[in-house]
Amino acid sequence: MPLIELSGVSKSYLSGQYAVRDLDMVVPDGAFMCLLGPSGCGKTTTLRMIAGLEQPTAGDIRVGTKLLDSVRQGVYVPPEKRGMGLVFQSYALWPHMTVARNIEFGLRMRKVPGPERDNRVRSAMELLRIADYARRFPSQLSGGQQQRVALARMLAVDPEVLLLDEPLSNLDARLRLEMRAELKRIHQRSGSTVVLVTHDQLEAMTMATHVAVMNEGVVEQLGPPMEIYERPASVFVAAFVGSPPMNLVPMADRGGDGLGAHLASYVAEVTGRPPGGGTVGVRPESLRLAADAADVPAGVWRTSAEVETVLPTGSSWTVQLRCRDTELFAVTFRAFEALPGSTMTVWVARSDLHLFGADGRRRADWDVVDQGRPDAADPLATGGVR
Ligand SMILES: Nc1ncnc2c1ncn2[C@@H]1O[C@H](COP(=O)(O)OP(=O)(O)OP(=O)(O)O)[C@@H](O)[C@H]1O
C-alpha cells in the first residue's frame, strides 16, 4: 500500500540555492501528513516532487514498492502515471462546465462507465455538501464552494494518495474550521494517505496524524502533533508551533539580575553544572501565577513578575507580564482578577520547562533529569492561577 518514502531528496537550482536539502521522510500508509513551515521553507517543492511536477536533483522517491524518482538510476514517472489526486491553492475548475460536469471530468478521462460515474459524482457532492450547486458554473460559486468542488473532483477519482497545497487558504475563518473537520472526516472515511502543505500551525495540529516541521529546506522534526507540541526538538519548532507562542528566554551564564541569569542558575542547580548558553522555553499555559507566594509548591522554578496587560478572550485570559528584564505571556482558563501593575509570583513545574542547548536543539539530558523525581511533574493537577 502507498507508503511514501523520500530518501536523500534534494532540489537545487542553477543559482546554487536549495529549496529542499537531503530530505528523508516516510509517510506511513493511511497517514495524514502535514508539511508545516514558514514561507520559502520548501514545503511546496516537496509536495510537487511527490506529485511528479518537479524532478529532484538528488535522491529517490518511492510509493509502496514502486520507484517513482531516482536521480541515480535515471527513473522519473510523470504525474499522470502516479495515480495521485492533487488540489492546489488555485482550484483550476473548468469555467464552461457545471459543478457536476467538473467532478465527472476525471472519471470520464479514466473511462469509468456511466452508472458508476453518476454514483461517484453524487456521493462526492454529498460528502462535500455541494449537491445543491450541481448545475451551477464555477463563476456562480464563492471561493469556498469552488474549493469544495475541487476537493470533490479529486475524491470522486478515489486516489490512494491525496496531495493538497494550502487547500483552505482562501476560505474565511468559519469555513476553514468547517473544512478542517470535513477533510479530517474524509481522511478517516476513505483511508487514503494525505500529504497537505500549510503554514498554519493550527491547521496542522488539528488535522494531521503526523507533522513534518520544515525550515530552510530541511525537516526539523517529524512526529505526531502532540509530540511536536509537548517535546519540540528545537527552538525553531518551539517558536513555530503554539499560539500564543512559547516564551523563549536565552540563558545568561555570567550572572546578573535578568531572567536569563535567574533561569541559568536554576538549570545549574538541577543539573549540577552551568548550562553553557542555550534557551529555556515555557508554554504560556504552563506559566503559573500566584497572588500569594506561600501558595507556590516547593521545588519549582519561581520569581516575581508585574502584570502589564490582561487580554480576556471569553474562554481564556492572556496575561502579559514583565518579569525582570523580559516580557512573558501566560494563559489561564480561570477568571483572572489581578489588576495591571500588581506584582505576582510566577512559577513553572520543572517538567514544563523546555531546555535547548546553544545549538538550538532540545537537551535530552534535561528531560532525563526529570524522570523519577516526585517534584518534577506538575504539582497542581488542575493548574492555572491560585
Ligand atoms: N525555480 C526556482 N529557482 C530558484 N529558486 C526557487 C525556484 N523555485 C523555488 N525556489 C526557492 O526555493 C525555496 C522553497 O520554495 P517553496 O515554494 O517550496 O517554499 P514554500 O515553503 O512552499 O513557501 P510558500 O509557503 O511561500 O509557498 C524558496 O526559497 C524559493 O525561493
121 and 23 together in one domain: yes
| CATH code of the domain in which 319 resides | 2.40.50.100
Confidence of residue 251 (pLDDT cuts 50, 70, 90): very high
23 and 172 together in one domain: yes
pLDDT of residue 385: 42
316 and 211 together in one domain: no
Residue 376, in any domain of the structure: no
pLDDT of residue 195: 96
Our mutation pick for probing the ligand 1 site, out of 14, 18, 36, 43, counting the most ligand atoms within 8 A of Cβ, is 43
| CATH code of the domain in which 211 resides | 3.40.50.300
Residue nearest to atom 10 of ligand 1 (CA): 19
For residue 310, what are the CA distances in angstroms to 279, 282, 316, 322, 350? 26, 19, 10, 12, 25
Considering its fold, how many domains does the chain have in total?
2
Residue nearest to atom 16 of ligand 1 (CA): 42
Residue nearest to atom 28 of ligand 1 (CA): 40
Per-residue pLDDT tens digits for 316-375: 999 999 999 999 999 999 888 888 999 999 999 999 999 999 999 999 989 876 555 544
> Pocket residues for ligand 1 (CB within 6 Å)?
13, 15, 17, 19, 37, 39-45, 199
220 and 291 together in one domain: no
Q: Structure pTM? A: 0.87
Per-residue pLDDT tens digits for 35-92: 999 999 999 999 999 999 999 999 999 999 999 999 999 999 999 889 888 877 666 7
Our mutation pick for probing the ligand 1 site, out of 12, 18, 44, counting the most ligand atoms within 8 A of Cβ, is 44
Query: Average pLDDT of 188-215?
Result: 93
219 and 333 together in one domain: no
Residue 46, in any domain of the structure: yes
11 and 157 together in one domain: yes
Range of the domain at 360: 247-370
79 and 226 together in one domain: yes
335 and 215 together in one domain: no
Residue nearest to atom 6 of ligand 1 (CA): 19
Q: What is the mean pLDDT of the chain?
A: 89
35 and 170 together in one domain: yes
